[in-house]
A and B are shown apart, each in its own frame.
Chain A
Amino acid sequence: MLNTNDIMETIRMIQDDHLDIRTITMGISLLDCCDSDIDVSCQKVYNKITRLAKDLVKTGEDIEKKYGIPIINKRISVTPIAMLVGASGGDPVKYALTLEKAANAVGVNFLGGYSALVHKGFAAGDLELIRSIPEALAVTDHVCSSVNIGSTKAGINLDAVKLMGQIVRQASERTADRDCIGAAKLVIFCNAPEDNPFMAGAFHGPGEPDCVINVGVSGPGVVRAALAKFGQDKNITEIADIIKKTAFKITRMGQLVGTEASQRLGVPFGIVDLSLAPTPEVGDSVAYILEEIGLEKCGCHGTTATLAMLNDAVKKGGVMASSMVGGLSGAFIPVSEDAGMIAAARCGSLKIEKLEAMTAVCSVGLDMICVPGDTPAEVISAVIADEAAIGMINSKTTAVRLIPAIGKQVGDELEFGGLLGSGPVMALNTYSPAKFINRGGHIPAPIQSLKN
């Protein structure tokens, strides 16, 4: 028999602590849509997406109703479009417009995969796609883009790093009248996972099946509430245990929803991504979890240690709750999407250097950070290089999503709205790394022994 306390706990998690399923993401392979004629290729892409995903949104809504748990986004990820451009040639923006049309037709919130994988070098279609990213993100609303520029096995493609600094700036400049939203839809990865359901970095890797359902859970609010309720006067071992138990419960929701969605849609179930994904809502912040553990303000000394413990405990709890775990799985720290991070950045406690250190022990990287509008492309490239180096050496995924706030300075703010939130412009070190970045070439893959 169901226990009254268990029932009330679930209701409280959803009602008061913002427990939700962040996204059901359908991964769709477009490899069979390649054609030497780009218009034929686009038509096939449109047909395949709208055929496979026609019931995705409706199914999400039905499951939401059945279990009473909000499913915030329904999304699609596709094969990196650079592969199609390689086969078809032509203007890659045609693909972006096709993806936008397909996203609108099936009613999803985002569609990711306007991507290129260039960690070892540029193949046919890669450079064309990368150069078209600013235009593609300016003329579409739902399309998201990502570029993988490094990996532990391949090293870091410094030519791509240099180019991406310029592309990030251009993406911002092209959308300066819309709070530079273009750059908020562009992620630069090292060690990008092929099955990530979260945006803007989702794409459907070439090693994935034809169509698959991946689920991303949320739940920082639930973890914070559990610590506030049971964590007073507990030592850090006990705190880690509370986080593990809570992560288990959150992930079970993801597993349930993913299994059900995959059955209803007749598509194989891929993975649950165990990430603690914050939203700008006040109760739903990763920074507030760290503060609940005992930091006066996120960003102070002790932040890296508490975050490392949190990230690890979330994984330990989540892994047992799901049959297949993947994606980015860990705690996210996107500044503009997290009320506690925004507050910490505003008051000066959280700085870019600390954020960089935090990315060495948690999921993803320097995410949704607004930087001064006059930041040179080389500085953005160097931030990307630093972050990629952390990922490469530590065999983990790292990413950079910086938004150069065109026409704005430190202290100003950008307002993206919705899940993307709003962010204060944060200071970067202004000394120039231009000579390093302009050298180009490739940082060789790191040695995997002698770990010091």
Chain B
Amino acid sequence: MRAVITVIGQDRPGILARVSTECAQVNANVRDMTQSILKDVFTMIMVVDISELKGSFSDFVDQMKQVGEEMQVSIHVMHEDIFNSMHRI
């Protein structure tokens, strides 16, 4: 089971560090990552394995949302099935 974390917002130091730390704390294993900065807008997409997640997926979603609010960026955590079903036949 994998989830996709997207982070969009004003670039600043420590976003990647903070998001990966949060993932490590709940045992979400980072499998893939891409990151770009366009005109100061930071965009990161992270694919994490959540099969061994500590706690519920729902709590993880809430926790990451909270982290996003603290860092003033928008963070979404969504199960990868939504992307697969929308974009694959």
Contact = CB atoms under 8 A, between A and B. Distances in A.
A429 interface: no
B23 interface: no
B78 A67 contact: yes
A10 B58 contact: no
A358 B47 CA distance: 46
A249 interface: yes
B87 A68 contact: no
A67 B82 contact: yes
A415 interface: no
Contact of A66 (B45, B57, B84): B57
Contacts of B78: 10, 66-69
Contacts of B34: 4
Interface in B16-45: 32, 34, 43, 45
Contacts of B57: 65-66
Contacts of A9: 87
A256 interface: yes
Contacts of A2: 4, 47, 80, 83-84, 87
B45 A6 contact: no
A68 B76 contact: yes
B86 A10 contact: yes
Nearest to A1: B32
B52 to A, nearest CB: 17
B77 interface: yes
B6 interface: yes
B69 interface: no
B58 A62 contact: yes
B71 interface: no
A3 interface: yes
B61 interface: yes
Interface residues of A, number: 22
Contacts of A69: 78, 82
A424 to B, nearest CB: 37
Interface string A1-33: 111101111110001000000000000000000
Interface in B46-79: 47, 57-58, 61, 74, 76-79
A280 to B, nearest CB: 25
Given A1-B32, A2-B47, A4-B34, A67 B87 contact: no
A396 interface: no
A10 B82 CA distance: 8
5 contacts: A2-B80, A66-B61, A67-B78, A67-B79, A249-B86
A255 B85 CA distance: 9
Interface of A: 1-4, 6-11, 15, 62, 65-69, 249, 252-253, 255-256
B61 A67 contact: no
Contacts of B87: 2-3, 6, 9-10, 249
Contact of A68 (B45, B47, B82, B85): B82
B61 A11 contact: no
B76 to A, nearest CB: 5
Contacts of B86: 6, 10, 249, 252-253, 256
Given A66-B58, A68-B61, A7 B81 contact: no
A249 B32 CA distance: 24
Contacts of A66: 57-58, 61, 78-79
Contacts of A10: 78, 82-83, 86-87
A1 B85 CA distance: 13
A351 to B, nearest CB: 38
Contact of B81 (A3, A6, A65, A67): A67
Given A1-B32, A253-B86, A11 B81 contact: no
B85 A11 contact: no
B21 to A, nearest CB: 22
Nearest to A6: B87
